[in-house]
Structure 1
Amino acid sequence: MTRNTSFSKAALLAATLTALPLLAAADAAQDYQDYCAECHAENRLGAQGPALIPETLARMRGPKIAEVIRDGRVTTQMPGYSEDLTDEQIAALAEYLKTPLDVIPPWNEAEIMASRVMDEDYAPVDAPVWPSDPMNITLAVETGDHHISVLDGDTFEVLDRFETPFAVHGGPKFTPDGKFVFIMSRDGWVQKYDIYALKQVGRVRAGLNSRNIAMSGDGKWLAVANYLPNTLTILSTDDLSVAEVHEVVGKDGTPSRVSAVYQAPPRDSFVLALKDVPEIWEVSYSKNPDMGIYAAGFTHDWRIEGPTKQDTDFPIRKITTPDFLDDFFFDQKYEHIMGASRKGEDGLVIDLVIGQKVADLDLPGMPHLGSGITWDWKDTKVMATPHLKDGTVSVIDMNTWETVKRITTEGPGFFMRSHKTSPYVWADVFFGPNRDKMHIIDKETLEIVKTLQPVPGATVAHVEFTKDGSHALVSVWEDEGEVLVYDAKTLEIVKRLPMRKPSGKYNVWNKITFEEGTSH
């Protein structure tokens, strides 16, 4: 009897030890649902946050997965969970995220088209159903409950408030006439909305985990940059149908995520930042790219890359770069790209005409070039960009590519804005203890002339001007937040618009005219 009892205990111990990994995995799966699914989706394919699967995490540079879970990640919205999870739970969760999904669904033209839904009750209109100036409409993205408010730029009345896909990202894009706007979510949904009719037109899922969208200069095409799968999806803006899906593979055969896609209207092309290979891509929508873009007489090897590698309306030019470039800034003529080094220590300038680096940039502190703006200063044109890792705004001469001023701020910033009618640049302090500050910088002296603190303790960020530059709209980036309307001359608040965690604001005129004070 004793021998049987001993044998039973041994067997029980062995069975328990065998079951421990399965129990830990089950607990980790539940922890994922409790702490991660809201931002990264229940299926781990990404939403507001990126996909948490081996294909994505294997390329993670910097902190290890467990460290990010425990401590969060600087310059992102990823919080730390050291007070919610034990070290053992964090380790188990990190291992769980490294396990492959049982199935990663294909997401090519057939799947994209199967997801497309056009609203049956939508009917186009010839003129706005409201009396406001259609060029002075501003969209305010409310991330707190996934809506967008449509604002009259003269009265700031809310004309409509419509639901968006989950976790809007990358900025809405307007057609050249300002009638339609396209909105993209991190989980790949693209929404078309008719501003004149104040109605959704339809939706399509262009990817499983996406970064941003870009509108062609003629308004006919929408490019969608995808992390998962490694593709660039090009949609028809007319009916959200798929024009082409390009697999993104570097010259050496390495697959890559697309960090971002940008429009380059004078060039009749899109420009892509690639995450995993040191290349940038230019994708032409011109029928004859060498004739339509390069009046200077340069010719290029436009490689035909696409699903069939035969006929395509969107040929690709691949340009090798000295470093990985996640973030771009274009000059006003779209002939040069200013790129930030991934190391956050410097930057460089690529001449798109010849496809080569032509200058280095002195840009420590990880500049956020995507929020850079330009203006005339003395006898030159300058570009200014905030830094994500230190309290600095760098001002660069765009003729010599030299840094002419480093403006010390009260912390790292994320967004900058101005307007051609304004003598000031508005720069937020998005990260750190002074996130409730907004700096006002004089364009001539390059000095901070005033620091606003409209709501002590609350994050204030992202400025957008009205069409004429008379007013500046600032987000109080909190769940029970608001958009503050400032008189751009007196710097006084003239109106408060309650909103749910408002983030970016986008004025139709400023965006479709590529106003120098706004990012492109």
Structure 2
Amino acid sequence: MQQSLKTLMLTAGLLVSPLITASTHVQTEALYQEHCASCHGSDRLGGMGPALLPENLARLKKNQAEQAILTGSAATQMPAFADTLSAESVSALAEFIYQPPAKKPVWGKAEIIASHLLPHPVSTLPDKPAYDADMMNLFLVVEIGDHHVTLLDGDSMAPIHRFASRYALHGGPKYSPDGRFVYFGSRDGWITKYDLYNLKVVAEVRAGINMRNIAVSADGDHLLAANYLPHTLVLFDSNNLDLLEIIPVENDAGESSRVSAVYAAPPRGSFIAALKDIPEAWEITVENNRARVRRMKTDTWLDDFFFDPGYEHLIGAARDGKHGLVIDMDTGKTIANLPLPGMPHLGSGITWDYKGSRVMATPHFRTNAVSIIDMNTWEVIKTLETAGPGFFMRSHENSRYAWVDVFFGPNKDKVHVIDKQTLEIVKTLQPAPGKVAAHVEFDRYGKKLLLSIWDEDGAVIVYNADTLEEEKRIPMNKPSGKYNVWNKINYEEGTSH
């Protein structure tokens, strides 16, 4: 009798083995189409809900996916299926969405154009702020706990507005040169243009299925999106996010590559792209709304980039996690090799003046250290031992201190403060024992700074940048990055670009 009931349930699609085989795949897909497709798309490319593909689920473990199916996801429209599906069905669905689709997903010109939305065109909105604040000292705080963004007044440190974002914003938002507009990129490929004057979304478009980040040109006219899937760079007019060009990312042999990241290089009037699967870095200039690509070949694959202030040199982290390369941006040739064991997070690097020289500093993903490098000689002049591997490092031109978190490992609740003139750790903070403390951002003057407690019951903590004393806690839902308008549009030396 029990076996007969099980057979009936399998036939109805209510019970599926958690191991997806040829015989059960059809049943599991039917289960997906019945319960998931209306939000996540029949092809798993996303809709009202995010895309459910292995590339898009990299940060979500399978047991977490199962829990989300069972109990729903807080502050989203994801319902709970605990009363609808058996544990076996939930397990099978989780296994299913982590498998690549049988047919390679396509996201090209037709799909991009069809996704284009203009809820509040710029031409219909007033060109003056609807509230009173220093528009150059605003912060945007990305709250990944419930996919929202809080707009914060950098003078009073009081929230002005809070609005929903696309699922899983990835990479820092980018501002227009005048600071009025901000552009967000999501892991699912959505680009959102938001008007900070009128607190409205003015345009959206989906550039890809799995997107790494976006960059806005120095003149503010163009936006470039870097995709993991498909293997493309996508160029848009920044005004209404109209599609201009899709750039296939391939080498001379026709081999394609994911794009690790794209950056604007203001002094050069260009973009720089880091490639994941081809040992090249690309410089892209835009002329008459068309992209021109210059390829710089390297001896190895580079995972992350940093630039000197004049964008004359590119510093790349080799994928082996043991060294970095310095590339002359004009010649495209490698001019130095840096000993950087432990996979440096160069995208979080900062620079400052030290005894008449410009130095850069970077934390490492895999080792308990901060490396400090002389940018004239390209030598590591000091390695600071930290309480664990770090993720983010921040400072400000007007502050004598640099802050670095200990994002990975048992000491993830600690943050180090480094004196930039003695190159020593002068204080270690533990603002919320047991909870991750990470990502500092200074205000425009370098007088105050914000630190995140990465927890659903988290907060943004305001510190005095000189005394290092806590001044205020603002409750937030897993706040990750915080981005000051002035620092970002002026490429402040202590802020990531």
User: Quick one: structure 1 residues 46 and 476, their matched pair in 2 at CA, closer, same or farther if it must change by over 3 Å?
Assistant: farther
Q: CA deviation at 1:210?
A: 0.3
Q: Match for 1:383 among 341, 346, 360? A: 360
Q: 1:128 to 1:156 in 2, by over 3 A?
A: same
Whether the 8 Å CA contact 1:269–1:286 is kept in 2: the answer is: no
- Greater CA radius of gyration, 1 or 2? 1
* Residue 458 (structure 2) pairs with residue 478 (structure 1): no
Matched with 2:110 is: 110
**Could you tell me how far 1:124 is from its partner in structure 2?**
1.9
**Is the 8 Å Cα contact of residues 52 and 97 (structure 2) preserved in structure 1?**
no
Corresponding position: 1:161 with 2:162 = yes
Compute the displacement of 1:81 (Å): 4.7
1:413 and 2:414 equivalent? Answer: no
Conserved? CA contact 2:28–2:96, under 8 Å: yes
Corresponding residue for residue 487 of structure 2 = 510
Give the match for residue 15 of structure 1.
none
The worse-fitting range, judged by mean Cα deviation, of 408-417 and 251-260 is: 251-260
What is the total number of aligned residue pairs between the two structures? 453
Deviations 1:143-184 (A, max 9, x none): 011111111110012111111110000110000000000001
Corresponding residue number in structure 2 for 1:72 = none
Within 5 Å, give how 1:36-75 maps onto structure 2.
45=45, 52=53
The AA in structure 2 aligned to 1:429 is V
> In structure 2, which of residues 289, 309, 334 is the aligned counterpart of residue 332 of structure 1?
309
How far does the alpha carbon of each residue in 1:362-409 deviate from its partner, in whole angstroms, 9 at most, with x for none?
100000000000000012110000000011000000001100000000
Which amino acid letter does the alignment assign opposite residue 109 of structure 1?
K
Residues in 2 aligned to 1:359 and 1:94: alpha-carbon distance in whole angstroms: 46
Instruction: State the distance in 2 between where 1:253 and 1:25 align.
Output: 33
Tell me, in whole angstroms, the C-alpha distance in 2 between the residues paired with 1:351 and 1:159.
Answer: 44
The answer to whether the 8 Å contact 2:53/2:99 transfers is no
Pair 408,162 (structure 1): closer, same or farther in 2 beyond 3 Å:
same
Letter in 2 for 1:260: A
Question: Matches of 1:426 and 1:496 in 2, distance apart?
Answer: 18
- RMSD, aligned CA: 3.1
Q: CA deviation at 1:479?
A: 1.1
2:330 is aligned to: 353
TM-score (normalizing by structure 1): 0.81
Q: Structure 1 unaligned segments of length 5 or more: list them.
A: 1-18, 58-68, 70-75, 288-311
Change (3 A) 1:365 1:442: same
Given that 2:52 and 2:98 are in contact with CA atoms closer than 8 Å, whether structure 1 keeps it comes out as no
What residue in structure 2 maps to residue 441 of structure 1?
A: 418
Distance 1:336 1:45 in 2: 38
The whole-number CA distance in structure 2 between the counterparts of 1:20 and 1:508 is: 48
Aligned to 1:138: 139
Alignment of 1:484-495 (within 5 A): 484-495=461-472
1:25 and 1:92 in contact (8 A); partners too: no
For 1:365 and 1:81, locate their aligned partners in 2 and report how far apart those are by CA, in whole Å. 29
Mark the runs of 5 or more structure 2 residues left unpaired by the alignment: 1-18, 68-87
Structure-2 residue corresponding to 1:266? 267
Read off the aligned partner of 1:353 and give its amino acid letter: D
Assess, with a 3 A threshold, how the Cα gap between structure 1 residues 131 and 348 changes in structure 2: closer, same or farther: same
Preserved contact between residue 210 and residue 224 of structure 1 (Cα < 8 Å): yes
Q: By how many angstroms is 1:480 displaced?
A: 1.6
Cα distance in 2 for partners of 1:454, 1:42 equals: 45
Which residue of structure 2 aligns with residue 8 of structure 1? Answer: none
User: Distance between the aligned counterparts of 1:273 and 1:471, measured in 2?
Assistant: 33
Does the 8 Å CA contact 2:176/2:182 hold for their aligned counterparts?
A: yes
Tell me, yes or no, if the aligned pair for 2:417 and 2:428 is still in contact at 8 Å: yes
Which residue in the other structure is 2:198 paired with?
Answer: 197
Residue 437 to residue 102, structure 1, CA distance change in 2 (3 Å): same
Letter in 1 for 2:294: R
Task: Decide whether aligned partners of structure 1 residues 247 and 429 sit closer, same or farther in structure 2, where only a CA change above 3 A counts.
Answer: same
**Identical-residue share of aligned pairs (%):** 53
